[in-house]
DNA sequence: GATGAGCGC
């Protein structure tokens, strides 16, 4: 196992006594506010505005965070020290997120992304730590384990961008399906397996069960270069990743190309064929 | 087990 208990200085949470990858049905003593909110939430499945009293207490940042705020400027600028967190439930707010890691003293802030129109959480957020190392420890230690007060697994990853940065299209992705993966294969391992031979690799993702966080045994690898995608389909089929040979197939692309990504002649054919432009945007 | 969906104003 690559994972290790958090090194000195960081008190591991109580559920972290064993292998973090072994999911536990551990239930932490439940803060009442969260439970109450959870119940409110479950009763009427509301599409629209958060009930008043959604947030039990406004978030006064713990005083220790302010100390670290000062440190922040000294920390390497441009260093990514935020984690992206997904699969959040609706009642999980900034308080909840910072609370989880408060004992480390290394959390700077948390942000839950909400829909601008409805104000409802989008199901993901960001957590900023005092350093990349701190964030990495959290990622290693918690990813895949149960979130407090739930049997929902943490889904954590590096934040790809800093706040305010724009995600730019680097062109289309060429994706392959990879099946027969061993249970221990992670996004990172999958990507590394291809990286040396296919430099255009953009990312790899192992599909996991939403609640347990366990691998479903298949995933996707994205390339920037179509030729590398095509080569990988044959060259990597049957190659070992972790302990098992991969079975590679074409990816069923759920996300259609944008109109600009089609070759010119093909665009016209689509239009003549009555395919609406807006379906492709 | 067999075709996801996840990046901030």
Q: Which residues of chain A have pLDDT under 70?
A: 1-78, 167-169, 254-281
Does residue A154 approach strand B to less than 7 Å at its CB?
Answer: no
**DSSP secondary-structure letter at A114?**
E
Q: What is the pLDDT of residue A274?
A: 59
Does residue A223 approach strand B to less than 7 Å at its CB?
Answer: no
Nucleotide nearest residue A157, measured CA to C1': B6
Closest CA to the C1' of B6: that residue is: A86
For residue A91, give both structure tokens: 């009642």
Give the bases of strand B that a protein CB approaches within 7 Å. Answer: 1-9
Nucleotide nearest residue A156, measured CA to C1': B6
Q: What is the pLDDT of residue A226?
A: 95
Taking the C-alpha atoms of residue A220 and residue A175, their distance in angstroms, rounded to an integer, is: 7
Residue A205 phi, psi (nearest 5): -140, 125
Does residue A119 approach strand B to less than 7 Å at its CB?
Answer: no
Residue A62 phi, psi (nearest 5): -55, 150
Using a CB cutoff of 8 Å and minimum separation of 24, what contacts does A203-206 make?
A: A204/A178, A206/A181
User: What are the tens digits of pLDDT across the range A111-131?
Assistant: 999 999 999 999 999 999 999
Does residue A160 approach strand B to less than 7 Å at its CB?
Answer: yes
Closest CA to the C1' of B1: that residue is: A216
Distance in angstroms: CA A111, C1' B9: 13
**pTM score:** 0.67
Does residue A78 approach strand B to less than 7 Å at its CB?
Answer: no
The residues with which A215 forms a beta bridge, in sequence order, are: A208
User: Are the C-beta atoms of residues A191 and A200 closer than 8 Å to each other?
Assistant: no
**DSSP characters over A216-232:** EEEEEEEES-HHHHHHH
- Among A37, A59, A161, A157, which residue's Cα sits nearest to residue A109? A59
Taking the C-alpha atoms of residue A246 and residue A229, their distance in angstroms, rounded to an integer, is: 15
Indicate the pairing of strand A201-208 with strand A121-129. unpaired
Closest CA to the C1' of B9: that residue is: A164
Nucleotide nearest residue A179, measured CA to C1': B2
Nucleotide nearest residue A176, measured CA to C1': B3
Question: CB neighbours of A232 closer than 8 A, spacing ≥ 6?
Answer: A176, A194, A197, A198, A221, A223, A248
Distance in angstroms: CA A125, C1' B7: 8
User: Are the C-beta atoms of residues A246 and A189 closer than 8 Å to each other?
Assistant: no
Nucleotide nearest residue A111, measured CA to C1': B8
CB atoms within 10 A of CB A68: 20
User: Are the C-beta atoms of residues A202 and A176 closer than 8 Å to each other?
Assistant: no
- Among A164, A147, A165, A167, which residue's Cα sits nearest to residue A156? A147
Does residue A128 approach strand B to less than 7 Å at its CB?
Answer: yes
CB atoms within 10 A of CB A147: 21
User: Are the C-beta atoms of residues A75 and A130 closer than 8 Å to each other?
Assistant: yes
User: What are the tens digits of pLDDT across the range A167-201?
Assistant: 666 788 899 999 999 999 999 999 999 999 999 99
Taking the C-alpha atoms of residue A74 and residue A212, their distance in angstroms, rounded to an integer, is: 38
Distance in angstroms: CA A67, C1' B4: 40
Q: What is the pLDDT of residue A273?
A: 63
């Amino acid at each position: 196992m690559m994972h290790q208990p958090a090194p000195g200085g960081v008190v591991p949470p109580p559920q972290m006594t064993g292998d973090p990858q072994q999911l536990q049905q551990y239930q932490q003593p439940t803060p009442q506010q969260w439970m109450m909110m959870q119940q409110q939430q479950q009763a009427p499945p509301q599409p629209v505005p958060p009930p008043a009293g959604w947030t039990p207490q406004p978030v006064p940042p713990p005083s220790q965070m302010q100390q670290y705020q000062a440190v922040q400027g000294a920390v390497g600028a441009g260093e990514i020290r935020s984690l992206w967190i997904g699969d959040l439930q609706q009642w999980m707010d900034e308080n909840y997120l910072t609370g989880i890691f408060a004992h480390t003293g290394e959390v700077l802030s948390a942000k839950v992304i909400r829909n601008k129109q409805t104000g409802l959480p989008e199901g993901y957020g960001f957590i900023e730590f005092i350093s990349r190392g701190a964030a990495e420890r959290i990622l290693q230690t918690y990813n895949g384990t149960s979130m407090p007060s739930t049997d929902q697994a943490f889904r954590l990853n590096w934040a790809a961008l800093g706040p305010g940065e724009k995600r730019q299209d680097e062109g289309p992705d060429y994706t392959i399906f990879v099946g027969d993966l061993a249970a221990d294969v992670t996004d990172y391992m999958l990507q590394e397996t291809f990286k040396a031979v296919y430099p255009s690799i953009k990312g790899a993702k192992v599909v996991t069960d939403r609640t347990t966080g366990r691998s479903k045994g298949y995933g996707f690898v994205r390339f920037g270069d179509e030729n590398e995608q095509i080569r990988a389909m044959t060259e990597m089929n049957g190659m070992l990743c972790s302990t098992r040979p991969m079975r590679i197939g074409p990816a069923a692309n759920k996300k259609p190309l944008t109109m600009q990504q089609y070759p010119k002649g093909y665009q016209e054919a689509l239009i003549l064929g009555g395919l609406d432009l807006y379906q492709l945007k």
